[in-house]
Amino acid sequence: MNFTQIGQLLFYAFCLVTLIQLFYYLFFFVRLAVYKPKPRAISQTHPVSVIICARDEAANLAKNLPGALVQQYNTTHEVIVVDDNSFDDTKYLLEEYQKTYRQLQVVELKQEAKLIPGKKFPLSIGIKTAKHEIVLLTDADCVPASEYWIDKMQQSFDENTEIVLGYGAYHKKTGLLNKIVRWETFHTALQYFSYALAGRPYMGVGRNLSYKKTIFFRHKGFSAHNNIASGDDDLFINMAATKKNTKINIDKDAFTLSEPPKTWSAWIKQKNRHYSTGKFYKPLHKFLLGLYTFSHIMLYPLLAASLLFYNWQLALLVYGIRFLIQGIILYPCMKKLDEQAMYPWFFIIDIWMFFYYLIFAVAVFKRPGKAWK
């Protein structure tokens, strides 16, 4: 095989991974780009139990809990905070809030759950304590984006819907790290929302997730993966979600907002924890996510090889087609998730994703840690 033939093979490989990328954009991601929720003829309301698990989160609760307590939602609802063995002032802070907000319920855990790492045990206790069929989950370091969060999220439920996937965004701040964190959050949401719209829901995020108690108990809660610290959100959804029982909610009033990681090391630690659960997904989901990741990793090295060793005009043409379609589909998706300010950066960050996948590839093979968060 001569040098020309090697260059030709590299170009063909580049065309193949580009086609794979285009398949994901034109079959999956375009669904979010064109998505319009169906208007309801009759407005409906359901009783809702908001559940927040907290361990040594007094500072975050002081800042964020009022956002859940002052919701404009007249139908019966409660806010349950599960205090999981906190050593800070969480107990006393919650006692003060209970004097003002009658809908606040506190469950205090004083003993660690044996053999159940992470927050699956406190979350299970919170769900069992909930008085209402619909539970709405968020974290202590999250705040609703609006006072209509409960109202907007519960509107997605009907007799057939058991799971509603919401969007957990991060506060917009200056700096490169903030852009990277927000892009990765958007990119992850682009995938799980698009897959859900295609009838293949595979995950949600615990920062903004809602489901019915009946589906939780039908699947015996988190018992299938109690030994894994993480996965109280994505592994349960991966197991329980179906085409017919899952909806998405991307109303901006239904978002939650979190404080982004402040250091690169904190973000890398967070993502390593998240990715360590991916190996437990259903085989089809692992294949689809893996193929997309592999094609993205290979795209730029093969583009560089095609530019250098084959025909740079043809290589740029093929890449240009992918770039054009990517740009057309990404903008409406970013606008729907209120991240359109990052649109001018998408080309640069798309290249960065090559390094991102390399950095976190090892996390897929790591054993999940036992940390609470």
CB atoms within 10 A of CB 53: 29
Q: What are phi and psi of 301, to 5 degrees?
A: -60, -40
pLDDT for the residue 71: 96
Can you spell out the DSSP letters for 4-62?
HHHHHHHHHHHHHHHHHHHHIIIIIIHHHHT--PPPPSS-----EEEEEEESS-HHHHH
Q: What are phi and psi of 216, to 5 degrees?
A: -65, -45
What's the CA dihedral at 120, 122, 127, 131 to 10 degrees? 180
pLDDT for the residue 370: 54
Residue ranges of the chain with per-residue pLDDT less than 50: none
pLDDT for the residue 261: 92
Q: What are phi and psi of 295, to 5 degrees?
A: -65, -35
Instruction: Tell me which of 3.90.550.10, 1.20.1730.10, 3.30.420.10, 3.40.50.1580 is the CATH number of domain 48-274.
Output: 3.90.550.10
- Contacts made by residues 6-13, CB under 8 angstroms, sequence distance 24+: 6/309, 7/305, 7/306, 7/309, 7/310, 8/310, 10/302, 10/305, 10/306, 10/309, 10/310, 11/306, 11/310, 11/311, 11/314, 11/315, 13/298, 13/302
Alpha carbons within 13 angstroms on the beta-carbon side of residue 112 total 9
For the segment 125-157, what is each residue's pLDDT rounded down to a tens digit? Answer: 999 999 999 999 999 999 999 999 999 999 999
Q: Give CA separation, 169 vs 69, 175, 258, 259, in Å.
A: 20, 17, 6, 9
pLDDT for the residue 369: 52
Q: What are phi and psi of 43, to 5 degrees?
A: -70, 140
- Domain boundaries for CATH 3.90.550.10 within the chain: 48-274
What's the CA dihedral at 365, 29, 333, 301 to 10 degrees? 60
